[in-house]
Amino acid sequence: MRRGLGIAVIVLGVACVGGGGSGEGSTTGASSSGSEAGPTGGATTTDGEGDSGSDDGTPLPPYCGDGVVDAGEECDDGNLIDHDACTNACTAATCGDGILQDGEECDDGNDDLSDDCPDCHVYRCGDGFLHVSEACDDGNDDQTDDCADCVPATCGDGVVQAGVELCDDGNGNPNDSCIDCVPATCGDGIIHAGVEDCDGTALGGETCLTQGFMGGTLACDARCMLDTSMCCETTMMC
């Protein structure tokens, strides 16, 4: 009987020891420390505002677009707009950089002033730049100077060039009222049809005989009219 009671006491003691601290549960796993893995596997720290940096406080390397003009950069406006005053390559925007900026009609990435995009505007006759298809370009729309429609003015083109020509009837007729871009005048030796009968010694093939006389000498007066005063009405008079 005493032996059985002793065993019961021992068992009860062991049970009390095993159940001790049952209210102090333990947990496993890492507690939140404010650190996380960095983009290269290293740890980075995060502040309350979400800005990240390296664990040791080393600043991030400079880059184009960080808003700071670093060595090798002409500008850095901190944005991704490529057509403003500072390109995404951190170079100052210029005509000929190949990027269409505000205010440019075109930008073909070169400084050739004879192609279709001179000085970043679309080529047109009268822009002052000599295009490969033009013979001249004086930068204006004046049709009476020495370069009309980007073609050098010439006598006979039908356009009177101020200070150069007195007339231009657009043809090469040597007997009309405008010869070599000079108005026809009596005494220039050229018979102007419909205006003159003759001019100087030029009688247009006329003689006293063609004028109905029997002979004599046909002449031309100061008004470029035929002078028959020396023609003979009869053979007896000649």
Per residue of the chain (238 residues), what is the pLDDT tens digit? Answer: 444 434 443 433 434 444 444 444 433 433 333 333 333 444 444 344 434 445 677 888 899 989 999 999 999 999 988 888 899 999 999 999 999 988 899 999 999 999 999 999 999 999 999 999 999 999 999 888 889 899 998 999 998 988 889 999 999 887 788 888 988 899 989 898 888 999 999 999 999 999 999 999 999 999 999 999 999 998 787 7
What is the rounded distance in angstroms from the CA atom of residue 145 to the CA atom of residue 133?
20
Tell me what pLDDT residue 72 has: 92
The β-bridge partners of 238 are none
Q: How big is the chain by its Cα radius of gyration, in Å?
A: 53
- Identify the CA nearest to 30 among candidates 43, 49, 19: 43
What is the rounded distance in angstroms from the CA atom of residue 54 to the CA atom of residue 46?
9
**How many of the other CB atoms lie within 10 Å of CB of 131?**
17
CA 47 to chain centre: 51
Model pTM? 0.44
Tell me what pLDDT residue 102 has: 87
Query: For the chain, what are the domain ranges?
Result: 109-152, 154-183, 186-238
**How many of the other CB atoms lie within 10 Å of CB of 200?**
13
Q: Which runs of E-coded beta strand occur in the chain? A: 35-37, 43-46, 52-54, 147-148, 151-152, 178-179, 182-183, 215-216, 219-220, 226-227, 231-232
CB 168 within 8 A of CB 178: yes
What is the rounded distance in angstroms from the CA atom of residue 235 to the CA atom of residue 237?
5
- Cβ-in-10-Å burial (0-12, 13-18, 19+) of 206 comes to middle
Alpha helices in the chain (DSSP H): 2-19
What is the rounded distance in angstroms from the CA atom of residue 196 to the CA atom of residue 176?
10
Phi, psi torsion values for 216, nearest 5 degrees = 105, -170
Token pair listed for 209? 């005989």
Tell me what pLDDT residue 54 has: 55
Cα angle vertex 189, ends 186, 194, to 5°? 55
